[in-house]
Structure 1
Amino acid sequence: MKPVGLKRDLSLLDLTFVGVGGIIGSGWLLASQVAASVAGPSAIVSWLIGGIAIILVALVYAELAGALPEAGGTVRYPQYSHGSLVSFIIGWGGWLSWVATPPAEAEAITQYANNFAHILYNDKTGLLTLSGLIVSILLTVLFFVLNYFGVKLFAKVNTTVTWIKFVIPVATAILIMVFGFHGGNFVAHGGFFPDGFSATLMAIGSSGIIFSLQGFRQAVELAGEARNPKRDLPLAVILTVLICVAIYVLLEIAFVGALSPAMLAKGWHSLNLDAPFAELAVAVNLGWLAIILQADAMVSPAGTGLVYTASTARGLLAMAENGYLPKAFLKLHPKWRVPINALIFNMIIGILTLLPFSSWSKIISFVSVTGVISYLLGPVAASVLRRTAPEIERPVKIGGLSVVSPLAFIVAGLIVYWTGWPNTGYALGAVVVGLLIYFYYYSKGNFRARHLRAGLWLAVYLLFIIVWSYVGSKSFGGKNWVGAPWDTIIFAIVSLGAFAWGMRSGYRTEEIAETSRQIANGEY
């Protein structure tokens, strides 16, 4: 059950804009270029595939969020369906992604600000300078301060910022296409698929596409503070994904089409614009737009950093509620009713994250892999809870869930694999290492052996992904012991088996039984 005391101040507009604000951040400023440098014009297809994958997952979460609207929902749902081990793996993986996102947005702001200050970012090394690092730290602290004074202030600031973040990217894409569009770019330097379809797939996880789109779940994390969660949450999740996928596809088309011959002279892999859309605006004689974009480069990432600071604290609160983090993270500020200790802890970890990942491009692959891990259990949990808790009302009941759920699970797993070795090894290794925390609490008698049996399938599946990334196709950084397309085909088959194992492992946990009782008695 959600912690008592959170204020229900968020409307449908607030929830939708939380999602849009979480998605339209540094990704719109930088990901179009990074994706094009990996996949060329076929990056447009990368966005579409990534969008379809996220829509499948979002549909599942729309059902879950409507039925069980709770703070930190993505951590709580697997607790209801499989118990503590699965919930910990999902929560830990998600937290690793979420806590690193505000610093990534701070880095994006700092990189764009270098166009004015020229002392914040080193173009040759692609890293922040000491001055840039200090600025990024101060921005991370600012995200904390704005969240400290309550969810209502956060929502007002975020809704205002998100209107700006919505209008400017759309206007930018349209204006750039109208004033400077080169249709020949879509077949230049090797055609539409210059490095084959494998590069199109690899771009989904490694170039910021999934990093950008995964913000849809921010509304789910703040479910405990929604005014009418059963009505508004599912609608907000679906609206968020549809709006943002359309915007990103439009931006990628505009970016590829607006590149000048000089910018493309050395091919797609050599693209290296410090401020991609601002420089394109200058190239098509829209200097005034470039000025606006330089200003928006401060606003858009700041909005996303603000959103993730809020939702990450709720995720940590949910993990503490599940029993595998200190109860101190359950503390709410007596006046502002926000999870204050969780906010402080995440701010400190976020600042420390800036040290090894001192550039936007270095952090996004890690964030994408760990973030997608938390998607894996949504499809399984929704299907298991249909069986183990059929009595719970579902305002949104997805038709064809028996097809949607396994597809969403397989696609989420494939995105992790396509991100490529060694990124998968680093990120999933960090998740596996985190199990030491879980077993510490298990040794104290917090959990039962059945939780281990119910979670064994997920631990085995994650280890399989690490090994398969290492031995798989060289297109995704592997040793090519299993080449394309058999690597992807076999991976999908194994993922379907893992989904079936996960379905069989789910059971009517004590938590879902108690929550069902509370719902029936009007206590939830």
Structure 2
Amino acid sequence: MSSVQNSSGEGKLKRQLGFLDLTFLGLGAIIGSGWLFASQGGAQLAGPTAWVAWVIGAVAVGLIGLVYAELSGALPRAGGIIRYPDYSHGPIVGFLMGIAALVAYSSVAGIEAEAMRGYAQTWWKALGTSTGGITTLGWFVQFILLIVFFLINYWSVNIFGKVNSVVTAIKFIVPLLTIIVLLTHVHGANFSNTKGAGGFTGIESAVSTAGIIFAFLGFRQAVDFAGEAKNPQKNVPLAIITAIAIGAVLYILLQITFIGALTPGSLSGGWAALNYKSPFADLARALGMAWLANVLFADAVLSPSGTGNIYLSSTARVIFAWARTGTFFKVFSRVSPKNGVPRPALWLAFILSVFWTLPFPTWGALVGVVSSATVMTYIIGPISAAALRRTASGIHRPFRLGGMGVIAPIAFIVASLIIYWTGWKIDSWLIGLQLAAFVLYLIINKVMPSENIALGQQIKSTSWLIVYYIVMFLVSKFGDKAFGGCGALKTPVDQIIVVVIALIAYYWGVAAALPKANITEEHTEEDAGSLAAQPY
């Protein structure tokens, strides 16, 4: 890297991550605690058809990933998921997505530390209680693990990338071994046993609340680290698609083998009664394979730890990106001149990750929140991509998504359904948080960056999103009881309404974009010089 310091002495991000680094970042985030817990969660809700939920999740995330492949290839920016809404619709939308992303990202490292501690409790009983709670010692073990993540990230993005690549390569072997071994113990009758299965409604719930969407969310890592990627216009889109494809195949096979390998006795109470504390490891022991159980317990430390390490770093990039847009505290936009790491943002990411472990929540308690909050940040992606085709048509797009006019609205519809499937309990406070943030912005708008965009124009470009939130809030409240609503809207009427709402919001959102893309020098400052050859 040539110069990592600008004239003011402030550092810049370094472009040191290649295609394999970016792909392993995605896979490393995908293969985390999700594979250890989500197969059981899917089986509890959907029974033998839980694998269908993984297919739906893979298709949904794949469609969204394709949209971001175009955006990140054309505009490779650190924390791009935060910046693209600001580019297409202005500061208010960027601010709202920043708040949603802060919730979605900052909690994952803590969740992964909790998952590691939960599995480790099997051989270190003092880490938790017999009722599934956590002891003071258990919390301190999680805290120490988060400190290790912080230190790995603090010194160098290059060291972080290489460590992650090695760890991901290792932890990919264990789920692959698990699939091969469990395939030799499949009970065909399990796939026709529907006792306690939730049918298609169960499949829908599993997508958003069992950890399935949560498991796939790792694809965004390549987007978050685009500002530190070598040849990002080519490598970022390719890494997104590769990580999603490999993750999908792995998870579908894991779900099928988990369902098939369950002993008939474990299903005597129905699928909903499954209650393994350490699903795959407990299943291996039930099958008399103590050696596999021990391997799984060891991997249960490695897999979540690797993912937590990645997410702590990506949280810092998102905070950095939010600060760059001007709608978050500027101190977090600073980068260390020595090693190109956004250290102030990393400190905040670390503090927030610790906060999310209080007051000692369980893995499942946060997964639905994270999944829904993340999807809220994704819904704007298809709209931003379509809008920027019109308002920033001159930008070079190395990866140009064919069929954008079809894929983008479908991606938005699927994302909206996932938000609805998450249920009223989570949607009510997440959407409520977004509406409160909008009011807050209007109150403090004078200290926010106008970027020569009149407040009236900003509100006009945001109004579609606010109406969308309000209507989704109401549909979630009055929706089917299976999704936590009061039951006034029965399935499938409730979901048909969500589809209609999504279509209206999509086309309104594209039409409401800023007349000219809000891509300024302040937004792209950290990339000055490194992309000089690109027609930005």
| TM superposition score normalised by structure 2 | 0.93
Q: Could you tell me which residue of structure 2 aligns to residue 150 of structure 1?
A: 156
Q: Distance in 2 between matches of 1:143 and 1:516?
A: 28
4+ residue stretches of structure 1 with deviation over 4 A? Answer: 513-524
How much has 1:441 moved relative to structure 2? 4.5
Q: Distance in 2 between matches of 1:215 and 1:481?
A: 36
- State percent identity of aligned pairs: 43
Do 1:324 and 1:437's aligned partners in 2 also have CA atoms closer than 8 Å? no
The amino acid of 2:376's aligned partner reads I
Select the residue among 251, 255, 268 that pairs with 2:271: 268
Could you list the per-position Cα deviations for residues 97-149 of structure 1 after superposition, in whole angstroms to 9, with x for gaps in the alignment? 1000000000000000101111222342x332222122112212221111001
Q: Distance in 1 between matches of 2:228 and 2:412?
A: 28
- SS of match in other structure, 1:507: coil
Do 1:176 and 1:284's aligned partners in 2 also have CA atoms closer than 8 Å? no
Q: Distance in 1 between matches of 2:146 and 2:535?
A: 38
Select the residue among 135, 138, 144 that pairs with 2:141: 135
Could you list the per-position Cα deviations for residues 20-54 of structure 1 after superposition, in whole angstroms to 9, with x for gaps in the alignment? 01111000001111111111112111111011000
Q: Distance in 1 between matches of 2:280 and 2:55?
A: 20
Do residues 18 (structure 1) and 25 (structure 2) align? yes
Do 2:88 and 2:387's aligned partners in 1 also have CA atoms closer than 8 Å? yes
The amino acid of 1:469's aligned partner reads S
Q: Could you tell me which residue of structure 2 aligns to residue 168 of structure 1?
A: 174
Q: Could you tell me which residue of structure 2 aligns to residue 430 of structure 1?
A: 433
How much has 1:427 moved relative to structure 2? 2.5
Do 2:225 and 2:314's aligned partners in 1 also have CA atoms closer than 8 Å? yes
Do 1:324 and 1:438's aligned partners in 2 also have CA atoms closer than 8 Å? no
Question: Following superposition of structure 1 onto structure 2, how do residues 373-522 of structure 1 map, counting pairs within 5 Å?
Answer: 373-435=376-438, 438-439=441-442, 441-444=444-447, 446-447=449-450, 448-449=454-455, 450-509=457-516, 511-512=518-519
Do 1:99 and 1:346's aligned partners in 2 also have CA atoms closer than 8 Å? yes
The number of residues matched between the two structures is 519
Do 2:392 and 2:517's aligned partners in 1 also have CA atoms closer than 8 Å? no
Do 2:396 and 2:534's aligned partners in 1 also have CA atoms closer than 8 Å? no
How much has 1:430 moved relative to structure 2? 2.9
Q: Distance in 1 between matches of 2:360 and 2:237?
A: 35
Q: Distance in 2 between matches of 1:188 and 1:132?
A: 38
Select the residue among 232, 238, 241 that pairs with 1:229: 232
Do residues 190 (structure 1) and 195 (structure 2) align? yes
Do 1:389 and 1:516's aligned partners in 2 also have CA atoms closer than 8 Å? no
Q: Distance in 2 between matches of 1:407 and 1:327?
A: 36
Could you list the per-position Cα deviations for residues 297-341 of structure 1 after superposition, in whole angstroms to 9, with x for gaps in the alignment? 000001110111111111111111111111100111232221111
Q: Distance in 2 between matches of 1:162 and 1:246?
A: 16
Specify whether residues 55 and 445 from structure 1 end up closer, same or farther in structure 2 by C-alpha distance, changes over 3 A only. closer
Do 2:395 and 2:535's aligned partners in 1 also have CA atoms closer than 8 Å? no
Q: Could you tell me which residue of structure 1 aligns to residue 47 of structure 2?
A: 40
Specify whether residues 520 and 106 from structure 1 end up closer, same or farther in structure 2 by C-alpha distance, changes over 3 A only. closer
Q: Distance in 2 between matches of 1:329 and 1:500?
A: 34
Which blocks of at least 5 consecutive residues in structure 1 are unaligned?
none
Select the residue among 82, 85, 96 that pairs with 2:89: 82
Q: Could you tell me which residue of structure 1 aligns to residue 114 of structure 2?
A: 107
How much has 1:373 moved relative to structure 2? 0.5
How much has 1:157 moved relative to structure 2? 0.9
Which deviates the most, 3-12 or 52-61? 3-12
Q: Could you tell me which residue of structure 2 aligns to residue 347 of structure 1?
A: 350
Q: Distance in 2 between matches of 1:472 and 1:109?
A: 36
Question: Following superposition of structure 1 onto structure 2, how do residues 212-251 of structure 1 map, counting pairs within 5 Å?
Answer: 212-251=215-254
Do 1:27 and 1:208's aligned partners in 2 also have CA atoms closer than 8 Å? yes
How much has 1:512 moved relative to structure 2? 2.7
The amino acid of 1:295's aligned partner reads A
Which blocks of at least 5 consecutive residues in structure 2 are unaligned?
1-5
Q: Could you tell me which residue of structure 1 aligns to residue 368 of structure 2?
A: 365
- SS of match in other structure, 1:122: coil
Do 1:80 and 1:508's aligned partners in 2 also have CA atoms closer than 8 Å? no
Could you list the per-position Cα deviations for residues 456-511 of structure 1 after superposition, in whole angstroms to 9, with x for gaps in the alignment? 11122122222211101111111111111000011101110000110111124463
How much has 1:198 moved relative to structure 2? 0.9
Select the residue among 13, 32, 36 that pairs with 1:29: 36
Could you list the per-position Cα deviations for residues 265-302 of structure 1 after superposition, in whole angstroms to 9, with x for gaps in the alignment? 21111111111111222223322111111100000001
Do 2:109 and 2:353's aligned partners in 1 also have CA atoms closer than 8 Å? yes
Q: Could you tell me which residue of structure 2 aligns to residue 49 of structure 1?
A: 56
How much has 1:520 moved relative to structure 2? 7.9
Question: Following superposition of structure 1 onto structure 2, how do residues 195-210 of structure 1 map, counting pairs within 5 Å?
Answer: 195-210=198-213
Do 1:15 and 1:236's aligned partners in 2 also have CA atoms closer than 8 Å? yes
Specify whether residues 74 and 445 from structure 1 end up closer, same or farther in structure 2 by C-alpha distance, changes over 3 A only. closer
Q: Distance in 1 between matches of 2:475 and 2:519?
A: 35
Could you list the per-position Cα deviations for residues 228-285 of structure 1 after superposition, in whole angstroms to 9, with x for gaps in the alignment? 1011011000001000011110000011111112221211111111111112222233
Q: Could you tell me which residue of structure 1 aligns to residue 259 of structure 2?
A: 256
Q: Distance in 2 between matches of 1:4 and 1:77?
A: 23
Q: Could you tell me which residue of structure 1 aligns to residue 3 of structure 2?
A: none
| TM superposition score normalised by structure 1 | 0.95
Do 1:201 and 1:418's aligned partners in 2 also have CA atoms closer than 8 Å? yes
Specify whether residues 440 and 318 from structure 1 end up closer, same or farther in structure 2 by C-alpha distance, changes over 3 A only. farther
The amino acid of 1:479's aligned partner reads C
The amino acid of 1:154's aligned partner reads F
